[in-house]
Amino acid sequence: MNNIYDVIIIGSGPAGLSAAIYSARARLKTLILERVKVGGQIVITDEVANYPGSVQHATGPSLIARMEEQVEGFGAERKKIT
């Protein structure tokens, strides 16, 4: 396993996941360091109305789930930290 990354992102909230999507999409070897819970504060939000590109009636968990799918689809790696 090659442990040299082009991009290392600390945190898996919306900003971290967005950065991972764009860097992995650009074919940069990307690693996300995350705590136990993915998504940050937005996962406890019932309605997301002011996030760019958010669909109508989006919730925090649904937004993070879509972002996680994209992160995985572009091949970013994730590692849990304590």
pLDDT mean values, one per 10 residues, the chain (82 residues): 88 92 97 82 74 75 89 94 82
pTM higher than the cut 0.75: yes
Range of the domain at 58: 7-80
The continuous run of DSSP H or E covering 22 comes out as helix 14-25
* CATH code, 25: 3.50.50.60
Distance, CA of 65 to CA of 70 (rounded, Å): 9
The dihedral formed by the CA atoms of 62, 64, 68 and 71, expressed in degrees to the nearest 10: 130
If we measure between CA atoms, which residue out of 82, 61, 76, 79 comes closest to residue 7? 76
Half-sphere exposure of residue 1: CA atoms within 13 angstroms, side-chain side: 3
Residue 2 lies in a domain: no
- Does a structural domain hold residue 70? yes
In the chain, the number of structural domains is 1
User: What local confidence, expressed as pLDDT, does residue 18 receive?
Assistant: 93
The four Cα atoms 59, 16, 75, 27 give a dihedral, to 10 degrees, of: 130
